[in-house]
Structure 1
Amino acid sequence: MEHIFFKGQVLWSMIDANRHLRHSAYSDFCTQARNNLMVHIGLSVNECAKFGIAPILFREETIFHREIKMDEEIEVAVEMTKHNKLNNRFSIAHTVYKADGTKSATVHVDGAWFDLKNRKLTALPPEVVAIVNKIPKSSSFVEE
């Protein structure tokens, strides 16, 4: 497995009535994995704020493959699948794996870059484009 940006244990508070990982916990794990990725490439939340930008999401879709139960260890891989040439919209795929390598879920998000001052979508400054280009790309990556 490549591009792992989160490893952790499923906690009691993440379990639903069916005794497996609740649907929204997948989103929480993937959000943390994206944050870890951004820190890894040098574009943490604080660094984004220095440039007056932040990533926002428009859509999130989860495809469940295998259940995960309490106390299991998981890993989340993150890869960019799409980025437009204006550098303001992106798509990211997350793959959630059980400790034995079984794919448990795939989470796709579509988002854009947001200008924190003007409260609208924005293109990235050239110095940020260079940083964003460090995000791992999927084998099916598309630049529009």
Structure 2
Amino acid sequence: MPRHLCFPMEYAKTYTVRWADMDPNVHMRHSAYTDYAAQLRLEFLADQGFPMQRFAELGIGPILFREDTRFLKEISLSETIKVTAELSGLSADGSRWRILHTIYKADGRVAATVAVDGAWLDLRLRKLTVPPPAMAEAMLQLDKHETYADIERKEK
């Protein structure tokens, strides 16, 4: 059964923290947390049938309006981390979305959360756009976070 026809699921991947992720304090640099969250979003979309090549064909891409990272526990070199994604908001037409990422240490403790608000950009017109229905449906395959709320679009 194609992935986009299945029920919502926890989407998570594990990564090993690299030397390039370290800062001068010898712990994971602040921007690496958001890099892992972004990587997970792209892997999720690819698993749903929307790899980067498909975005190029459609002439659209994801953009962020807001990114908020909360740091809770230190992460060190070569640690294994688990990164999850949960849907915390979606507009009716799928054009706007909110995702909450949780980054876990190997022992299960939460190291950080990364909350992002985003939308889809028409890469030719350089304007916000509504994605194809299958892409909006793909977003619904993420588990909904307990704080999930529909995103209401305001008419201009």
Give the TM-score normalised by the residue count of structure 1: 0.90
Q: Please report how far the alpha carbon of residue 114 of structure 1 lies from its aligned counterpart in structure 2 after TM superposition.
A: 0.7
* Cα shift readout 1:27-71 (whole Å, capped 9, x = no counterpart): 111111111111122222222222221111111110001101111
* Cα shift readout 1:85-140 (whole Å, capped 9, x = no counterpart): 23211111100001111100000111111111211001123233233322332232
Greater alpha carbon shift after TM alignment, 40-49 vs 22-31 = 40-49
Could you tell me how far apart the structure 2 residues matched to 1:5 and 1:46 are?
22
Kept in 2, the 8 Å contact 1:6–1:29? The answer is no
Q: Which runs of 5+ in 2 are unaligned?
A: 1-8, 152-156
1:65-104 alignment runs, 5 A limit = 65-104=72-111
Kept in 2, the 8 Å contact 1:4–1:75? The answer is no
In the alignment, which residue of structure 2 is the partner of 1:119? 126
Greater alpha carbon shift after TM alignment, 125-134 vs 60-69 = 125-134
1:13-32 alignment runs, 5 A limit = 13-32=20-39
- Structure with the larger strand share: 1
> Percent of aligned pairs with the same residue?
40
Match of 1:138, SS?
coil
Corresponding letter in the other structure for 1:39: A
Could you tell me how far apart the structure 2 residues matched to 1:27 and 1:127 are?
26
1:45-84 alignment runs, 5 A limit = 45-84=52-91
Give the TM-score normalised by the residue count of structure 2: 0.84
Could you tell me how far apart the structure 2 residues matched to 1:45 and 1:134 are?
19
Task: Report how many aligned residue pairs link the two structures.
Answer: 143
Task: Could you list the structure 1 runs, at least 4 aligned residues long, displaced by more than 3 angstroms after superposition.
Answer: none
Q: Which runs of 5+ in 1 are unaligned?
A: none
